Every structure is written in C-alpha cells, then in structure tokens.
Structure 1
C-alpha cells in the first residue's frame, strides 16, 4: 500500500518544477507513514501534499485542459481585402451564365458527337486557390490571359471517345503523358477559353476581338479568378475538374456588365444664389412724436410722414438700405445699399 501511495505521489514532482499552485508546497521528498485515502491533503515534515485521490482528480482536469489547448482552434473566416468594395454577390449570376455555356459546349462538342455522357456536377467562381496542383495552359485574349486546366482522368476519357479506346484507359492515369494528350488538351482549352471570351464580350457589349494565341504552359497569377467546374462521365465512371482562370481586368468587365444602373444620388449642382432662400423684412417708417399728441389723436386724424430710405432686415438683423417704389400697384424695394 505504501509503495502504491509513493508512486502516486511521485507524479507531484514535475508539477513542483512547473510551479503549479495547489498541489505541493515544498520541494523535498517526504516519507509517508500515515496515509488516509479519504483525506484531501497530507501534511508532514513542514510540507503539505494533495492526497492521491484528490491529486488524480486535479491531474485529470489539467489533462483535459491541455487536450483542449492542443485541439485546433476554429478559424474565423478571413475576408480577402482584394474583394472589398466589389459586387461579389454578382458572381453567382455569372456562374449561372457560364454553366449554361459549358453545358451547351459539352453537348455540342462531346456528348452529341461521341454519344458521351459528360455532366456538370457543380460550378463555382472564386479567387484562385494556390494549393491546387494542375497543369495550366495559358491563352492570350482581348480580355487578358485565360488559363485552362483539365484533370487527366477527364482528358483520357475524352481521348477514349475521340479515338475509340478501351473504357478502362480513362482511369489509367499512371502511364506517361503522350503528345496526343497534349494536342487534345490544347484543342479543348482553346474551345473552352473561346467560350469564356464570347460570354464576357456579350456581357460587356464588346466585340470578341482576334482569335486566341497558341497556348503555352504557365500558371495563373495569384490575383486571378478561377471558374471551377466539377464534371462527371457516367459511362466511364470518371470525375474530375475543369478550371478556367481570368485576371482582374476580365472580371471587372463582368462586374460592370452585371451591376444594376445606379440612380443619381444628387442633382446637378446649383449656384448658392439660387439655392439659398432668405426672408427679408422691410422697416418702412420710423418717426418720433410727443406722447401728448399721440394721446390726443382721434379716428380720422392725419399724421404727416415722409418716406426715406427703408431698412431691410434678415432675421431681425439690419443688412441693407433700400428705396420703396410702386410697380403695378405693389410696393417694391429697389436701390439696395450695404449698411456700413
């Protein structure tokens, strides 16, 4: 029993070195001659120790805490600063249009011609993922460079349909790539890149421009946008990705074409003299008279006055002198003069 207790209490030694409070007070070994398994602490030779039962409970709590600390932290979504201020929500509409074009291209170029069964499982438009490993071909277009990449399983599947190969060849991606595959990839890339150029030109209301240049191996820049289409072929049971990459210049054409017309947030500027309205008050007459004369006045009496320059006020503040004139039976102010 003493050996078992001692082995349990040895677990306390590394806790002392790492300064965990509440387990041990002291740094020396103590021989235990009296042990109570129900006690929470043991005191001896000037030192205080947790009992084995309590110590195992505390150690278990710390182990749970360490496991939680080692667990991967939940990563909050990081906003790409390159997307700030851009109508990213319009990419879904663009993806729908590209998906329709791709369905028509697959139907006309592969499914109807070779009686294949290529289908689109999913299609997204997003920033280029640098972690993707693919063999890219680059085509120069009027809207900037366009990248194309097709998984080899899909390429071999098209090769089987085109040259009448065995159905199992489409899954054999281990053998070295042939020049026939390279020529087929270049031809398919030109077709799909041309499809994308025609869509962007249609959205922007521009001419599609000259034909694409010959492809060359080159990866898209990190700032590119990627159209990722997951394709499947039922007969060969093959799945893979078809990717197209465009640069910021091309995506700006898409954003401008899909963004709704903005209403004018303000009218045409007007001059301050026309826009600012002021209320003018005219003080026509001031005169002084004795109080007795005022008290003796009766109805019908005439008080002689003479009109002089009139004081013009704005919000009870005198600003001008003006003359009073009559025009078509109305009194008007004229000949304004600043008050010095």
Structure 2
C-alpha cells in the first residue's frame, strides 16, 4: 500500500541539540547519555517536523494540481543537519505519492524541451577505476629486481571508484586470460 503522507524523520540528537542551544544547557550525543523523553522534547520534535513538511508543501505547491491518474515512484531525501559545532545528524524526508508526483511535475517543467530527431542523446559517461593491488616494497627490494623477477602478491577484493569516489568492492576473477570484476559489494 503506497504511502500518501509525507514522513519527516529528525534524529533525536538533533532535537536535543536544538533544545540545548535554545534553553542554555550542554548536550553532546557523543559523550552524554540521552535524557528521558519529555513532553517539551516531543512538542519541539513535532513542531520541527511540521515546519519541514510545511516548507516542503509550500515549495511543491508551485507544481499545481496533480492528475488523479499520475503514477509515480515515492521519492526519499536523506540529508545531514548540523546544530552549532555538533556532529551532523540524519534528516530523512519520505515523500508521499502526491508530493512525489508534484516533485516530478516541477522537475519536468525545468528540463529543457528535447528537439525531436535532430540530436541523439549522449550516453552518460562514468569514470570507473578498480584498484586491484597495492603493495609496499623497500628500496632494497626494488634494486634487486631484474628482468624475469617475480613479486609475490595476494590478490584480495578490488576497490572500485565511480567518478573518483570509492563506492564498491569486487572479487577479481580470470576467464579466458582476461581479468574480470564480479561479486560487487557496497562500501560502508
């Protein structure tokens, strides 16, 4: 069942840090144990969620009415919120079906129109690099190398970078004399 309501999730440390700044006490989630939940905290958290939801609704109102037959995927936005000098905390906004459709309408209006038939769309270029091995050797070892020398290596999982950002690891396999990357896993 699709979610029709937009959901805003603000991390509890963010609310506590805002309360600390507002009411003049110190709270550091890395060092302090979180206090028991109070009615004031619940009220402030609800007010923050309402404020974020209202700002989102105001921005999306420019999309105009959405057709009842509009089928869309649900969009989710993940961000970091920093209060003062504290570490950033997570903010998650999961758009409901109506807000997702409004967002898509706004995006479609901002895209330049395609000129039919004149230009083929260009493929998306992605720089993919795989680091298969890093080995540290001494200068003495390098001086002893000669033609035909063999450096023993242990091939582990390769790190794969997309557009310069390390994103994946992969197993390296050999097939018909060629190396292949397989069994990809995301880096955490």
TM-score by length of 1: 0.28
Higher relative contact order (CA 8 A, sep 6+): 2
| Bigger radius of gyration among the two | 1
Which has the larger share of helix?
Answer: 1
The TM-score with structure 2 as length reference comes to: 0.47
